[in-house]
Each structure stands twice: as structure tokens, then as C-alpha cells.
Amino acid sequence: MTEQALIAQKAPYAAEVEAEKTYYWCACGRSNNQPYCDGSHKGTGLEPVAFTAEKDETVYLCGCKQAKNAPFCDGTHNKI
């Protein structure tokens, strides 16, 4: 059975990413290393979302864990 994702925060995380590097966004909300996965999802039925940065930049990663285009913030936190 899949558990519900926890809301880590009701705002996005501004994260500096490096081109060509792969990151694992925490989808469960349980990581102590937000917004990235630390393995806390084990046993929840939820999995982290891998993404590879296209360029060196600041991205805004979802903190509420409800975004439709995860791992990126889409403003969903404004409705919860």
C-alpha cells in the first residue's frame, strides 16, 4: 500500500543545480535532506523522482509534494 506524501513545506525550494548532474527529488516528504532524497521513503510505496539538470541554474523544486509537474514547483502549494 502506498502512503500519502507529507508536506515538507508550503513553498518551493530554490536549488542550485549543475549541468548534466542527476538529482533525486524527495517525493515522500520524509527526507531530512529536503528537497533531495535520503532514503526515508523506504516502506512507503513512494519513490524519489530523478532528474538531470540541463544547465547550471537555480531551479524551484516542489516542497508541498503535490505539484503536477514534479519535481518542479507549479504553485500547487498556494491551494493547500
Q: For the chain, give the percent of residues with pLDDT over 70.
A: 99
Domain range annotation of the chain = 1-80
Report the distance separating Cα 53 and Cα 28, nearest Å. 21
Report the distance separating Cα 72 and Cα 59, nearest Å. 8
pLDDT in tens, 40-71: 999 999 999 999 999 999 999 999 999 999 99
